[in-house]
């Protein structure tokens, strides 16, 4: 069979797998996606509790252009499939002293916010820091984020590395921000995003300041209807239109190979899908069971996982007053948060991410609303005693939410997802945030997206570069598809 026409199998219909499949199908390849769950999305899932519908994963979309590119590959316009609205504010940050800062995407509006909350001198510093973020982003995007780290020519970018070093990209993130900003609240507003890559701002590299660029400068978006899960639902619908197959509710049990490389995928229901190329787009450690020993990657010898989270979803009988979509409540012990998580303990005074989407007429009965709270928590490698921890954390969380003004949610329809529940969904170490992004698990040092010893075997998703988050995994899917399409020439 010619590699140009031979079938491709994608294991996992998370956003990474779906993106790979769309790019391949749009290029005319025969594609089948195999998904263990009964619906697409993986982490970007959905759940119902009584009359309420919740997003179980991401609560906002950044860099919508990356998603638009996936639809564009198929000649489609994202806004026709999935109208998005920009959220204002992008975030509301509430500090332990009761003060708050709304993060607004427009430069002038944000500078005005900073002027009001932190004073005019800090506003001037903010404007300079924002210019630095712009420059870091401009350098990093083509060299480290939207770039294939499996190719040798991707390795040598001396000019970019030198410029990043000069800008402070290889210092620690907290030091980089503190060199430019002085108000601790503004520093937090630009460094808390280190949590998204599983690290404390004291340990994350300054290059990760670009995450603050993506959300504080680029803005955050949300589908007009259907919540975040509307994203994978639209991608799966696009795949159907392109003629690709998606097999839900069946697990891939083995990637078959012979001396020449990949030959097919065996399914847990006894079926077999022939393929000369496979994209494995699921938890990379769990996927070892599917793969021949020679597909092992030395970068996975000592995997360092991100912390996990405990998420509580609750149905509300009325929307909270004056509530932003996304509110970050900082606890008093912000620094200790990271030490505690690394030592396997809950945060001493939890910082919480509260999401309260504007009702879209479908997620809750008329006049009602939904609320989801994410509390960073230790992963299962760090803390094992979840029979004890879970009720303790849940009770403390309910108390904290009541203190913060969300009311008594003890009797509300609720659902809690803790690290053992993430593990039961297939996430190794009980964390849905994969490996953290320390230097030794970044860019070329993250597990490789190809294994040259098994021709035709590719990887996508958050375990590969560029890493965790919706835009990065969409990019990883496109990169896998591009490599496959090149192999076929």
Ligand X SMILES: Cc1cc2nc3c(=O)[nH]c(=O)nc-3n(C[C@H](O)[C@H](O)[C@H](O)COP(=O)(O)OP(=O)(O)OC[C@H]3O[C@@H](n4cnc5c(N)ncnc54)[C@H](O)[C@@H]3O)c2cc1C
Whole-angstrom distance, CA of residue 460 vs CA of residue 478: 9
Instruction: Report the nearest approach of ligand X to the CB of residue 13 (Å).
Output: 5
Size of site (CB under 6 A) for ligand X: 34
**Residue from 15, 197, 373, 412 binding ligand X (CB under 6 A):** 15
**Residue from 11, 82, 111, 149 binding ligand X (CB under 6 A):** 11
Q: What mask of x and - would describe binding to ligand X in positions 27 to 56, judged by CB under 6 A? A: -------xxxx----xxx------------
- Tokens 């035709």 identify what position? 456
Beta strands in 115-234 (DSSP E): 221-223
Among residues 236 and 485, whose Cβ is nearest to ligand X? 236
- Tokens 């009964």 identify what position? 38
Q: What mask of x and - would describe binding to ligand X in positions 52 to 71, judged by CB under 6 A? A: -----xxxx-x---------
**Which listed range, 11-19, 198-206, 335-343, 440-448, lies at the site for ligand X (CB under 6 A)?**
11-19
**Residue from 16, 264, 315, 376 binding ligand X (CB under 6 A):** 16
Which letter does DSSP use for residue 360 in this model? Answer: -
Helix (H) or strand (E) holding 306: none
**Residue from 78, 279, 429, 473 binding ligand X (CB under 6 A):** 473
Whole-angstrom distance, CA of residue 343 vs CA of residue 155: 35
Q: What sign has the CA pseudo-torsion 420, 424, 426, 428? A: positive
CB-based burial of residue 171 (10 Å sphere; 0-12 exposed, 13-18 middle, 19+ buried)?
middle
Q: What sign has the CA pseudo-torsion 11, 14, 16, 20? A: positive
Residues 6 or more apart in contact with residue 172 via CB below 8 angstroms: 201, 202, 203, 204, 205, 206
By the rule CB under 6 A, 470 interacts with ligand X: yes
By the rule CB under 6 A, 374 interacts with ligand X: yes
Near ligand X in 261-290, by CB under 6 A = 281-282
Near ligand X in 289-328, by CB under 6 A = 309, 311
Instruction: Report the nearest approach of ligand X to the CB of residue 84 (Å).
Output: 14
Nearest by Cα to 107 from 218, 241, 21: 218
By the rule CB under 6 A, 430 interacts with ligand X: no
**Residue from 7, 8, 9, 17 binding ligand X (CB under 6 A):** 17
- Contacts with ligand X by CB under 6 A lie at 11-17, 34-37, 42-44, 57-60, 62, 251-252, 281-282, 309, 311, 374, 426, 432, 461-462, 468-470, 473
């Amino acid at each position: 069979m010619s590699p140009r026409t031979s079938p491709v199998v994608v294991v996992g219909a998370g956003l990474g797998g779906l993106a790979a499949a769309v790019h391949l199908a749009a290029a005319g390849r025969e594609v089948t996606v195999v998904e263990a769950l009964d619906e697409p999305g993986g982490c970007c899932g959905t759940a119902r509790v009584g009359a309420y519908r919740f997003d179980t994963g991401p609560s906002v979309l950044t860099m919508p252009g990356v998603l638009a590119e996936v639809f564009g590959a198929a000649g489609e316009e994202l806004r026709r499939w999935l109208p998005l609205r920009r959220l204002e504010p992008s975030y509301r940050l509430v500090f332990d002293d009761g003060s708050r800062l709304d993060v607004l995407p427009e430069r002038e509006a944000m500078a005005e916010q900073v002027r009001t909350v932190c004073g005019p001198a800090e506003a001037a510093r903010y404007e300079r820091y924002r210019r630095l973020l712009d420059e870091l982003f401009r350098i990093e995007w083509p060299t480290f984020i939207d770039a294939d780290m499996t190719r040798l020519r991707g390795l040598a970018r001396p000019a970019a590395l030198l410029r990043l070093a000069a800008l402070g990209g290889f210092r620690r993130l907290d030091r980089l921000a503190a060199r430019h900003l002085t108000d601790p609240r503004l520093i937090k507003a630009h460094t808390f995003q280190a949590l998204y890559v599983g690290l404390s701002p004291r340990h994350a590299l300054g290059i990760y300041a670009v995450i603050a660029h993506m959300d504080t400068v680029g803005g955050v978006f949300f589908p007009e209807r259907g919540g975040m899960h509307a994203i994978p639902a639209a991608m799966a619908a696009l795949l159907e239109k392109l003629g690709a197959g998606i097999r839900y509710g069946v697990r891939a049990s083995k990637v078959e190979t012979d001396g020449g490389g990949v030959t097919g995928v065996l399914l847990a229901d006894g079926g077999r899908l022939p393929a000369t190329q496979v994209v494995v787009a699921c938890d990379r450690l769990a996927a070892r069971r599917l793969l021949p020993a020679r597909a092992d990657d030395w970068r996975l010898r000592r995997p360092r996982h991100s912390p996990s989270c405990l998420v509580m979803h609750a149905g509300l009988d009325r929307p909270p007053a004056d509530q932003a979509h996304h509110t970050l409540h900082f606890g008093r012990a912000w620094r200790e948060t990271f030490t505690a998580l690394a030592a396997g303990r809950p945060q001493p005074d939890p910082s919480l991410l509260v999401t309260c989407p504007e009702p879209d007429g479908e997620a809750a009965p008329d006049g009602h609303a939904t609320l989801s709270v994410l509390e960073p928590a230790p992963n299962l490698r760090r803390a094992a005693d979840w029979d004890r921890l879970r009720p303790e954390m849940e009770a403390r969380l309910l108390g904290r939410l009541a203190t913060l003004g969300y009311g008594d949610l003890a009797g509300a329809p609720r659902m809690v997802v803790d690290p053992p529940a993430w593990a039961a969904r297939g996430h190794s170490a009980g964390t849905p945030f994969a490996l953290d992004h320390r230097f030794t698990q970044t860019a070329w040092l993250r597990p490789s997206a190809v294994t040259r010893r098994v021709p035709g075997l590719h990887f996508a998703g958050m375990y590969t570069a560029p890493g965790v988050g919706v835009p990065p995994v969409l990019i990883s899917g496109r990169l896998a598809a591009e490599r496959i399409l090149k192999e076929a020439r």
